[in-house]
Structures are given as structure tokens and as C-alpha cells.
């Protein structure tokens, strides 16, 4: 029987690329998103995929969605907590509502969806991949909510690995560097794009596919003894301490 991956935020960007790669590898995919028209049009041409509407920050919707996915597919072998929102702003302008909006999707979402999927993942000795960010590994200005939410996702992954390992469930975290998705382009000005190119050893943004390759690998049998790990797919950004353009040859 084909394995089943549940991918949140699957209507576009990294989640859609991950869905396509799972399908190419012979998996079936439960595509989860709250953007109904975008999810419908993304899922329509994809054989082996099925769309489920859900806001991952809402406990009731999450419980209902996971019940629908298990009723439809009968199993869940991998969970990719990818749905995320970005909101960059100075600390003094990040009011509580902006903070909560970021935390609700980026942190509450992976907590809730993982908890709801745990019985199904126990049955398959499945895998979890949480999508954090280089912003969770390195601090910068304007990311008090986003960066903190992603650092928390890194720790959440380790908690999940520590506790769910006993059931044979693996949990790992992927930290993408900048990728030209709708999320990134909404908060990256041309100045930010140029600065990233300067600071990243590979001198460029990543592609959705390059991030998806790491996610699908970590969900696969090839990574069967890998758990609790944080993998940056970031062109080397995290490894560079003093990335000053002036120090380049
Ligand atoms: N693009 C980048 O540069 C970058 C860098 C580092 C990390 N990331 C992370 O990668 C993940 C995917 O980002 P992307 O760039 O593909 O973004 P994107 O905006 O292109 O896609 C995100 C998808 O998630 C969905 N979504 C958002 N909130 C949701 C919710 N509460 N419930 C259900 N669906 C929801 C959106 O509708 C959208 O379809 C995010 O967690 C993001 O933080 C992205």
C-alpha cells in the first residue's frame, strides 16, 4: 500500500513542491491549507493527492481534518508541518495581536497537528518534519515574532523526538534559507534580497524543490536512524559567522 504524507500549507510554495516530490516518489498526499481556492486549484491536477481545508491554528478544525484524512487514506506515514506566516516589524510596533497571529500558525499549528496525528503515526512508526527557518537559528531585526516562533519550532521538534521516539516516531526540523515564495516576497525588499545574496556563501536564494528534497529524505526510510536533528537548507548562511561582504575576495 502507498505511504501517505500529510503536508500543511500545501497550496503553494514549499508545501506544494514537497507534495509534488512525495507524489513522484510514489506516496499519496493529504494536502492541507486554509486558502480554499488556492488549494483546490493546486490539488486538481495532482493524481494521488487529496485536498483538506483546515486552519492549523484552530484545535477543532485540526481534530476534524485529521479524522477526515485517516478516514480517507486509512493511515498517515509522514507529517510535514509546513504552514507558516511571516510578519516582520520592530519590537515596539509588534502589538499582541500581531505576535499572536504569528505564534498561532507557526507554533500552535505544529503542536496541534502533531498531537492529533500521533495515534496514526504510532501505528505506522511514522516521521514528522517541522519547517522552521534560518530566522529560528540566527536572530535579526524585525523578526521578534517570526524568529521566536521558529526557534520554538526547533525546540518543539526536539521535545517530539525525545518523547515520541519510544513509539518509533522520528521528528526532525528543516530550516530553509530564503526562497522566492509569496511568503518571502511579501517581506523581502530588493535591499533585503541583495543583502541575502551577499551574506549567503552560495550567493543565491534556494528553490522550493531544494527544500522539498531535504524534507522528503527525512520522511523516507533512508533517514530511519535520524531523529531530533535540525537541518539548515540555506546555502551556508547559518554556518557563516562574520559574513561581511567586505571580507569577500
Ligand atoms: N520562503 C522562505 O524564504 C522561507 C524561509 C524560511 C522558512 N520558510 C518557512 O517555510 C514554510 C512555507 O513557506 P512558503 O515560503 O512556502 O510560504 P507560502 O506563503 O508560499 O505558503 C504557505 C502556505 O501556508 C498556508 N497557511 C498559512 N497559514 C495557515 C494556517 N493557519 N492554516 C493552514 N494553512 C495555512 C498558506 O495559505 C499558504 O498556502 C513556512 O513555515 C515558512 O515560515 C520559508
Furthest C-alpha separation in the chain = 58
Give 125-162 pLDDT, tens digit per residue. Answer: 999 999 999 999 999 899 999 999 999 999 999 999 99
Measured CA to CA, the distance from residue 224 to residue 239 in angstroms comes to 26
Give residue 76's region: left, alpha or beta (phi > 0; psi -120 to 50).
Answer: beta
Whether the pLDDT of residue 96 is over 80: the answer is: yes
Measured CA to CA, the distance from residue 81 to residue 131 in angstroms comes to 6
Please provide the size of the chain in residues: 249
User: What are the residues facing 49 on neighbouring strands?
Assistant: 29
Nearest CA to ligand 1 atom 34: 33
Mean pLDDT value of segment 169-191: 94
> Residues 11, 46: contact at Cβ < 8 Å?
no
Q: Which of 110, 200, 97 is nearest to 149 (CA)?
A: 110
Task: List residues near ligand 1 (CB under 6 A).
Answer: 8-9, 11-15, 33-35, 38, 54-57, 82-86, 105, 109, 131, 133, 176, 178-179, 181-184
Q: Which of 10, 62, 66 is nearest to 41 (CA)?
A: 10
| Average pLDDT over all residues of the chain | 96
Mean pLDDT value of segment 230-236: 97
Residue 146: active-site member: yes
Measured CA to CA, the distance from residue 111 to residue 118 in angstroms comes to 11
Q: Fill in the DSSP letter of residue 113.
A: H
Measured CA to CA, the distance from residue 6 to residue 32 in angstroms comes to 7
Mean pLDDT value of segment 176-184: 94
Measured CA to CA, the distance from residue 98 to residue 143 in angstroms comes to 11
Whether the pLDDT of residue 241 is over 80: the answer is: no
Residue-level pLDDT at 199: 87
Residue-level pLDDT at 249: 66
> Residues 121, 75: contact at Cβ < 8 Å?
no
Q: Does domain 4-234 have CATH number 3.40.50.720?
A: yes
Residue-level pLDDT at 157: 99
What is the number of the ligand 1 atom nearest to the C-alpha of 38?
A: 39
Confidence of residue 83 (pLDDT cuts 50, 70, 90): very high
Spell out the residues 6+ positions from residue 194 whose beta carbon is closer than 8 angstroms to its own: none
Distance 224 CA to ligand 1 centre (A): 27
Amino acid at each position: 500500500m502507498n505511504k501517505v504524507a500529510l503536508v500543511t500549507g500545501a497550496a503553494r510554495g514549499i508545501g506544494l513542491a514537497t507534495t509534488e516530490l512525495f507524489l513522484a516518489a510514489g506516496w499519496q498526499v493529504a494536502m492541507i491549507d486554509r486558502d480554499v481556492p488556492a488549494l483546490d486549484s493546486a490539488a486538481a491536477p495532482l493524481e494521488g493527492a487529496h485536498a483538506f481545508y483546515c486552519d492549523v491554528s484552530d484545535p477543532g478544525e485540526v481534530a476534524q481534518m485529521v479524522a477526515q484524512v485517516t478516514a480517507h487514506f486509512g493511515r498517515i506515514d509522514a507529517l510535514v508541518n509546513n504552514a507558516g506566516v511571516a510578519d516582520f516589524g520592530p519590537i515596539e510596533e509588534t502589538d499582541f495581536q500581531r505576535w499572536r497571529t504569528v505564534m498561532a500558525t507557526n507554533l500552535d499549528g505544529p503542536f496541534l497537528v502533531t498531537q492529533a496525528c500521533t495515534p496514526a503515526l504510532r501505528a505506522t512508526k511514522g516521521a514528522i518534519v517541522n519547517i522552521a527557518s534560518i530566522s529560528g537559528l540566527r536572530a535579526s531585526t524585525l523578526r521578534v515574532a517570526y524568529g521566536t516562533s521558529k526557534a520554538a519550532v526547533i525546540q518543539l521538534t526536539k521535545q517530539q523526538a525525545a518523547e515520541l521516539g519510544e513509539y518509533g516516531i522520528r521528528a526532525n526540523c528543516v530550516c530553509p534559507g530564503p526562497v522566492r515564495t509569496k511568503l518571502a516576497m511579501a517581506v523581502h525588499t530588493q535591499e533585503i534580497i541583495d543583502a541575502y545574496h551577499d551574506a549567503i556563501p552560495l550567493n543565491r536564494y534556494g528553490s522550493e524543490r531544494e527544500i522539498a528534497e531535504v524534507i522528503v529524505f527525512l520522511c523516507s526510510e533512508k533517514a530511519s536512524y535520524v531523529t531530533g536533528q535540525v537541518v539548515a537548507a540555506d546555502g551556508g548562511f547559518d554556518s557563516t559567522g562574520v559574513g561581511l561582504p567586505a571580507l569577500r575576495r
